[in-house]
Structure 1
C-alpha cells in the first residue's frame, strides 16, 4: 500500500469514528433537505445584500447558502471558512456565541472536516479587508464526507517561490473520478457549461427554422446509416439479436418519407471501435434532414449555424484552440476531395482503378489491407495527407461513390456523389449528403456493401429491407447532415481530448 493510500485509509477510519460520534449525539449527519435562498455568485454580484454599518440587524435581508467546506481558519471561538457551491466560492464567518456552544465546539470544530457539505443561514457583511462574507447565524451539517477531498495546498519556499502540493491533476484519475474533478478543479465546470450552451444554441437555431426535434430507436434490429462495427445485445422476451445504433440516419429519413419537412435529433450513438484522443465508443451527434434541399444548401446552413454557435459562446466568430486562432466567419473554403489530395500529394486519383490506387498508396507509404476497396484506399490517403492540414473550417466536397453508399450521385461528375465533410482543426466535425432517394440505386449500393463485407470489410453497411421499402413509397429530394457534438465541443472549449468534454468517458479497466 502506498503512503497516499495509507493516509486515505487512516483518514477514512477517523471520519467513520466522527460519523459514529455524530449519531451518538443524535446530530443527524445526513438530513433530508435544506432551504437554499442564494448562491455564492448571486451574493457577490449583489452588493445591496451587504449590511451597512448603520443598519440594524432586523433591517438586513437574510441569506441561506449551502455547499462544501473547502478551507478553514479556526481562531478559537470563531472561524473563517470558504464554502463552495455550484456557482463558486464565498467566505463564511461563524462564531460559537451565534450558533451555540455544542454546535460550534463539538459538531463544527471537532466532527466537521474539509469537504463536508454544510448549510448556513445568516446575513452578508464585509470584513476589514473588504471581502464579502456570510455571517453565520445558523449552522447545519448536511453531509458528512468519509473520504478526504484532495485539496491542493500552496506552500511558500525559502526562496520565495510558491509550490503546490496534492493537486488533483492526474488526467486519468480525473476522468475516472469526474465528481472529484468537478469539486477540486471547478474550472472544469465551465467546459461543460459551454458544451450545454453550444447544444442549446444549435437547438434554438434549428427550432427557429421550424424543424422538429424527434427521437428514434437506440436498439435496432438492423444497424445502419454509417460504416462502423456495432455493439450487439439480446432481447430476451423476443429472443432476438439487437444492436446499439451506430447512427440514426435511416430512421430520420423514414420520417421525411412520412411527410415532415425537417427533423433533427441529438442522439447518443455507439461504435465498437478503439479509444483515442478523438474517439469514444459512446458519442453524441446531431443529425438533421430537410426535404427539398441539397448539399449546396446544407453547406450554407452549416456555416450559418456554427458561426451562430461561436458568437453565442465567445461573442465572436474566432475561437482560440491551442496556439491556433480558428475563424468561423462565413464563407468557408469548398474544395473537391480529389483536388485536395492532388494538391497535397501531387497525385491525381480521380477515375483510377483499384490497382492504380493501390500503386499510388504504396508510393505514399500507406499501409493497405487485402480487404481495402477503392473508397477505403482513397480515405486512407486523404486521412494521412490532407485532413491533418485543414485547421480553418473547410468543406471537402464530391466524394467517390464507393465511400458514400447513402449519397445521391453527382449531377455532373461521373463516379462521385454529392457529399461534403467539414474539416476543422485537423478532424472531421460534420458530414452531409444530397440524400439518395432512388430505391433501385440504393438497393444496388447496399448489395455492393454486402460484397465488401463478404470480402472482409467489417465496417461495410448491411442491407435494410424495411428502409428500402420506405424509399419505395417515395422520399422527396433531401439534404442530410451529421455534426459530431463532442468534437465540435472540443474546438469551442479549447480541449485537447474528447475525454475533456465528456463527463464520464470510457476508460480501460484499472489493474
Structure 2
C-alpha cells in the first residue's frame, strides 16, 4: 500500500515543519515533471462530467457496460489514491462530484507509464480516458487506458475527508474548503439557485433588470456610514453606495415602471453573524403600487424561491420555519404595546418613551437628535424583534426613522413601511415611496441636521434626486431584500460568512 492512502479534511493546514517538508517533496516532483515536458498543459479536454456519467449510466449493469464499452474522457482533482502493486484506485473530484478511476500497469502501457502515477499526490489534477465498468463492489468506475497530469498540487490537503473543522481557515482559504467540504459546495450551489429564482420571479412579473452606479457623489437610500474614496482625474470625493434606491427611483421618474437590481452594497460597519461590509441585496420598485402590494410580492417571491428549491419547512436558529403559511402582519407600535402595556397609547410621547427606555434597556445611549419614533423603535428592537420567529411583517414605522417612506394618509406620524423578520433577523425592508418633493426635502434637511450633530449614519441632501422628484414620480412601492440573509435562512446557516464565498476577515 502507498502512503497516499489518505483522504482530505478536518485538520487545519498550518505552516508546520511537516507541511514544509511535504511542499519540498512535491516541488521536487514538479521539477522532474518540468524536465520531462510541460508541467501545466492546457490540452486536456473532457466529454463528460461526473454527474453526467452517473445520470446516464448508473442504472446499467456490468454485462451491459462491458458489451457497449462506453468511452469517456474526464478530469478532476485526486481525493483518494490506493496503490496495490500493479493496480491503483484513484478517486477524482470535478465540479459536479466524484468518480473512481482504475489504473492497471499493463493496460496503461507498462511500468514507464504506470510507475509515475504511483507517486502522484492528493490534490493533483489529472485527466483520464477509458471505458466504464463496475468493480467487484458494484461501483461505477472508469477503466483507464490513458492518463495525464494536468496541474500539480504543491500544498498538502488537510487530512481525512470530512471537511475543514477550523472555521477561520474555511473562510480564509475558501478554495480549500470547497475542495474538501461537500456541504460548503452545496451551500453555494443553493445560493446560485436562489439568485436565479429571484431573478426569474421578478422577470415573470414584468420587472426589468437594471444597473445603477456603485460609485456615488452623494450616498443615500439607507441609514449607514459609507466608504469614502477619491477620484483623481476629477479631484472629487466619491462614496461606495450604501443602497441603489435613489437611482432606481430616478428610473421610475424616467418611465421605467417596474425595475430591479441585484448587486453589492457597501456599509462601513462592524462584522458579526449577520453583517459584512459588502453584501448582496435585491431592490425592486413598482409604480402604481403601495406597501401592501409590496408585501404581497415579497411573500410570493420568497415562497416561490422555496418551492423552486423544494423547501417549505426550514430549520434556522433553532426555529422550524413554515414558508407555506401566510406571513403574519402587525403594526410596530402594537407589537411593542403587547410586550409593554404601560406605553400603550403613548407612541408619540417622547418623554415617556425615553424614560421607559432608560429604565428597561441596559446601557441605553440615545442620540441627542432622537425623537419619539426612535425611542419606540429602540423598544421594539429590544423586546419584540428577537422573538419574531415565524415570518412576520412589521408595519407602520414612525416617520422619524423612515426618511424615504410615504406618510400614512390616516396617521401623519407613521409611514406606509414594513420590515420582514424571520427567526429574529431582518430579511426585507419596503414601503410606499415618498414622491412629494417638498416633504422629501424636509426629511433630507432633518437628516442633514442629524448628520451635523454627529450621526454618522444620517444622509445628506441629494439635490439631484429632489430635482428628479420635481419632474413627478408616479406613486410607487419599493422593497430591498437581503440576499445573504435569505440564503442563510434557506440553507440553515448561522453566520453570513458561511454564505459568502470570500467574507471579510482581519489580516492574518
Distance 1:503 1:323, change over 3 A: same
Which residue number corresponds to residue 376 of structure 2? 378
- Which residue is equivalent to 1:11? 22
Query: Taking structure 2 as the reference length, what is the TM-score of the superposition?
Result: 0.93
Question: Could you tell me which residue of structure 2 aligns to residue 142 of structure 1?
Answer: 150
Tell me which residue corresponds to 1:262.
258
d(CA) in 2 for partners of 1:349, 1:86: 59
**Pairing 1:352-371 to 2, within 5 Å after superposition:** 352-366=348-362, 367-371=364-368
Aligned length: 493
Do 2:208 and 2:258's aligned partners in 1 also have CA atoms closer than 8 Å? yes
User: Aligned partners of 2:501 and 2:198: how far apart in 1?
Assistant: 20
Q: 2:330 aligns with which of 322, 329, 335?
A: 335
Structure 2 distance, partners of 1:461, 1:377, is 20
> Which one of the candidate residues 110, 123, 132 is aligned to 1:115?
123
Question: Corresponding residue for 1:457?
Answer: 455
Q: Does 1:417 align with 2:426?
A: no
Task: Tell me by how many angstroms 1:324 deviates.
Answer: 2.0
Higher relative contact order (CA 8 A, sep 6+): 2
Q: How does 1:125-274 map to 2 (within 5 A)?
A: 125-152=133-160, 168-274=164-270
Number of the residue aligned with 1:444 = 442
The corresponding residue for 2:320 is 325
**1:459-490 CA deviation, whole Å, 9 max, x = no partner?**
11111000000000000000010000000100
Native 8 Å contact 1:395 1:423 kept in 2:
yes
Report the aligned-residue RMSD. Answer: 1.8
Question: 2-side partners of 1:450 and 1:65: how far apart?
Answer: 61
Tell me if structure 2 keeps the 8 A contact 1:95–1:104: no
Q: CA separation in 2, counterparts of 1:349 and 1:454? A: 32
Deviation larger for 468-477 or 66-75: 66-75
Q: How far did residue 356 of structure 1 move? A: 2.3
CA distance in 2, matches of 1:503, 1:461: 31
Aligned pairs (5 A) from 1:425-444: 425-444=423-442
For residues 189 and 332 of structure 1, the distance between their equivalents in structure 2, rounded to whole angstroms, comes to: 31
Query: Where does residue 161 of structure 1 map in the other structure?
Result: none
User: How many Å separate the matches in 2 of 1:250 and 1:55?
Assistant: 61
Verify the 8 A CA contact 2:419 2:427 in the aligned structure 1: yes
Q: Distance in 2 between matches of 1:41 and 1:289?
A: 39
Question: Tell me, what secondary structure is at the counterpart of 1:474?
Answer: coil
Taking the aligned partners of 1:361 and 1:348, their CA distance within structure 2 comes to 14
Give the deviation of 1:508 after TM superposition. Answer: 1.2
1:420-458: CA deviations, max 9, x gaps? Answer: 000111111000010000000000000011111122111
Deviation at 1:123, TM superposition (A): 0.8
The structure 2 residue matched to 1:285, chosen from 281, 287, 296, is 281
CA–CA distance in 2 between the matches of 1:498 and 1:381?
26
In structure 2, how many angstroms separate the alpha carbons of the residues matched to 1:43 and 1:271? 45
Name structure 2 gaps, 5 residues minimum: 1-12
Counterpart check, 1:32 vs 2:42: yes
